[in-house]
Amino acid sequence: MATATSSARNRAATRSRRPHAVLWLLGPFFTLFAFTYVAPMLYAVGLSLYRERFTGTGWDGPQRVFAGLENYTRALTDTTFLTGTGRVLLYGLIYVPLCIALAAALALLLDSTLTAARRFFHTVLFLPHIVPGLIAAIVWVYLYTPGLSPIIDALEGVGAEVDFLGGSTVMLSLVNIAVWQSLGFNVVLIYVALRAVPRSTVEAARIDGAGEIRTALSVKLPQVRAALFVVTLFTIIGSLQLFTEPQIIQSAGTSSVTSTWTPNMLAYTAAFNSNDYHYAATVSVLIAALAGVLSFAVTKLAHRRSAS
């Protein structure tokens, strides 16, 4: 009886200490998360509800007044913002499926029995992801600029003329930069998931007569569906954050990209060129809301596919 009572007390003491242990473990993360993400977002939302207005003769400078949803109405009727959002969505429609398809194909190729020197190819594919986006954009602008690019010189040598920074091709040039930089990271994520697929399942498919392609499409890919959805989610969010590459291309002054070509560029221009921080915050909040909606849609689709 005494032993049972002692065990019950020990279990009760363990349960009472468990919430404190969880708090100590998760507290630093949530504190950092609150200060670096939640607080800036709330500040941006608050900033978007105000605007600057000059009163009287204007000698006293602008006065900050409550504007309610006026900035949101302005953004949602601003052709520059709407056109930029359309460009980003078009960019995502090209970039996301292309990147995911190439990453899945390369990961399956690395996981197949036909591939040797896997570690070497891992390193080669992952190297572009290590290069900072700013440096990568500068390098690609050099490769896209006539008179500097050896690629353009080689194409002109065979009679082909391509304007990589023209109005009809600059979108594909940006997609190329993004795929080059993010492909290796996505390949690694999918490949790690493929290595977790039970080898017995793969061997059973091969014993039944399935070749490498059928095994990859019918056995391996369904097993890594969760990883594919995670990679897709990260890639969609990354596509909505398009800023560095078009900003560098625009700074070079040799393309059709303007300073408001994407919503993020519009927010940057409004904040640091026009000192309109309230409108910049509004644009930022709208882009964050769009990212949240798309993330929620992808997550719901992933849960629905997993349940089925």
Q: SS3 of 254, please?
A: coil
Residue 222 resides in a domain? yes
Diameter of the chain by CA atoms?
A: 95
133: domain range? 81-307
Residue 63 resides in a domain? no
Residue 144 resides in a domain? yes
Residue 86 resides in a domain? yes
Output phi, psi for 50, to 5 deg: -125, 170
Question: What CATH number did the domain enclosing 235 receive?
Answer: 1.10.3720.10
Q: What is the mean pLDDT of residues 126-147?
A: 85
For residues 305 and 225, the answer to whether their CB atoms sit within 8 Å is yes
The helix (H) or strand (E) run that includes residue 275 is none
| Domain tally, the chain | 1
Residue 56 resides in a domain? no
pLDDT digit string, tens, across residues 186-203: 998 998 888 888 888 778
- Provide the b/e sequence for 18-49 (b: ≥16 CB within 10 Å): eeeeeeeeeeeeeeeeeeeeeeeeeebeebbb
pLDDT digit string, tens, across residues 59-92: 666 778 888 899 999 999 999 999 999 999 999 9
DSSP 35: I
The number of residues in the chain equals 308
Residue 153, pLDDT > 70, answer: yes
pTM: 0.84
Distance of CA 276 to the CA centre of its chain: 26
Among residues 22, 11, 20, 75, which one has the least CA distance to residue 263?
75
Residue 42 resides in a domain? no
